[in-house]
Amino acid sequence: MKRIILSTDHRSSKGALNATTTGDAVAPPLSAAPAKSSTGTVTRSSHSAIDTGKSSDAAPRLNLTSLNHASFPCSDLQATIEWCGRVFAMPEYAFQDYKNSMFGGNGQSILRLGRGSAVAYIALAQMTPEELKAQASIRPHFCFGIRDFSVDKIFAALSKMPAKAESVLREGKTINGVNFTDPDGFPMQFNPDTACGGNGFLGETCDMDATVKRQPDWPAPVELSTFNHVRMVVKDIDSAIAWYTKLTDMKPHVFDLDYGGKRTILRIGSGPEFVLLEQGPSPRTFKPLLGVGMDDFNACEVVDRLKAHKVPVRVEKPNGQTPEIFVEGPNGMEFQVQDVSYCGGFGPLGNKLA
């Protein structure tokens, strides 16, 4: 395997890039045009994919547009792919054939998450029992999408925090975003918001026409449209807010719930996507939660469909207004199914901030 790693040491105050190479791979220039493919290239008409302008000393905050993906280890990869396809109609539409420090050397199968305007997916990797045991004490991996993606700008911003980070040219041809570790130990990532987990310089080329081959005896799926939110259990909510609002343009919001508690979120862009912050440690510290959105949400119909699939499901109403539907998936994954407009708030669809 050939790869180039661009990294910034957390002690650096300049955000300088240090290149470490293995094999004879040569990184294409950052201004390279996205690759075209008959299988489909994700594009945005207003999107300047790479901004090669120099970052200012002020290291401006990063402008986030979406939740791009989440990654999970699997004890049985094929069974997990089948479950996601059967229950949520999520097709496998790409494969990443490379080793990484998080999920080993078996590559990752990429499943499209919905058909919303924002590209979103989950990455699944087969792991041994020993590897899974080690993963049990690692926090979930999530990735944010950035409209004007610039490695220089991202490294400059992270160096001001400070935070360890690296950017890998996976398979010798595709920039794998920028990976970093936050103060709570979450392995996070920034990607171009057109990255679908596939080929091309920006990872923007996937089989967008892929579908799930449904079996005759499968019940109707709950078809997803968007990647709506994730949960992060942190040591101190105020510290997490301060760190992320210095690094990015995410905005905090606090909801007062009916039972007397509070729900704190960081809104991504103009919403409704968000990060749910919970203070820990707690039993949910290492348990991933993926909030997913669907069109024409009807709680009773969703629950009936999930029960037809014989999957564990529960409904909560912490604000006394919004039914929140939780589904236990394979490998410890938990999904929360809501309307595409859900923002963690009030009203029948949970789409009101107050």
CATH number at residue 270: 3.10.180.10
Q: Is residue 179 in some structural domain?
A: no
pLDDT at position 135 is 86
Q: What tens digit of pLDDT does each residue of 92-123 get?
A: 999 998 766 565 567 899 999 988 667 999 99
**Could you tell me if residue 6 is inside a domain?**
no
In the predicted model, residues of the chain with pLDDT beneath 70 are: 1-59, 99-105, 116-117, 260
Does 236 fall in a domain? yes
Give the whole-angstrom CA distance, residue 122 versus residue 87: 15
Q: Look at residue 210 and tell me if it is in a domain.
A: no
Q: Are 193 and 185 in contact (CB under 8 A)?
A: no
Q: Which domain holds residue 245?
A: 226-339
Q: Does residue 333 belong to any structural domain of this protein?
A: yes
Structural domain includes residue 249: yes
Taking the complete model, does pTM exceed 0.95, yes or no? no
Q: How many folded domains does the chain comprise?
A: 1
Dist. CA 237–CA 235, nearest whole Å: 7
Exposure string over 219-246, b if 16+ CB within 10 A, otherwise e:
eebbebbbbbbbbbbbeebeebbebbee
Closest CA to 227 of 66, 85, 63: 66
**Which residues sit opposite 290 in a β-bridge?**
230, 335
At 171 the pLDDT is: 82
Close Cβ partners of 157 (under 8 Å, ≥ 6 residues apart): 15, 55, 59, 60, 61, 62, 247
Identify residue 81 by its one-letter amino acid code: I
Asked if residue 307 is part of any domain, the answer here is yes
Yes or no: say if 117 and 141 are a contact pair by the CB < 8 Å rule: no
Residue 168: CB atoms within 10 Å? 21
Condensed to tens digits (0 to 9), the pLDDT of residues 268-318 reads: 999 999 999 999 988 899 999 999 999 999 999 999 999 999 999 999 999
Name the E strands within the chain: 3-8, 18-22, 64-74, 92-96, 108-112, 121-126, 141-146, 165-170, 174-175, 178-181, 187-192, 226-234, 251-256, 262-267, 274-279, 289-294, 313-316, 324-328, 334-339
Considering the domain boundaries, does residue 192 fall inside one? no
